[in-house]
Amino acid sequence: MVNKLLVYLLFLVAAASCGKSVEEEAKEAAGLTKLSLEYSKKLDLDSSEMTFLQAKEIMDRYKLKEDSIKFESLYKKYLDENLTTEKQ
């Protein structure tokens, strides 16, 4: 039963990531990280954790893969862009 559920969840994650480019996923992860920080500032720690875990799920897909360097570079770019825009 647990194995079937795990396979189903992995299938959903794989299906959700199909068709998205590395750039789109990096941008989404950066946006989720920024949102997580906003929740933290408002002391909404449950929402902050949930949102960060969504971002981490995306980031984990690129660990030890060919696109990891490209993903990390784009993630940092979009995170910096989002944070710079926020400060202005």
> pLDDT by residue for the chain (88 residues), tens digit each?
545 543 444 444 555 555 689 999 999 999 999 999 999 999 999 999 999 999 999 999 998 888 899 999 999 999 998 565 555 4
- Running DSSP on this structure, what letter comes out for residue 20? -
- Running DSSP on this structure, what letter comes out for residue 21? -
- Running DSSP on this structure, what letter comes out for residue 13? H
pLDDT at residue number 16: 55
Rounded to 5°, angle at Cα 27 from 24 and 46: 120
Q: CB neighbours (10 Å) of residue 17?
A: 13
pTM: 0.69
Q: Do residues 30 and 79 lie in contact, with contact meaning Cβ atoms separated by under 8 Å?
A: yes
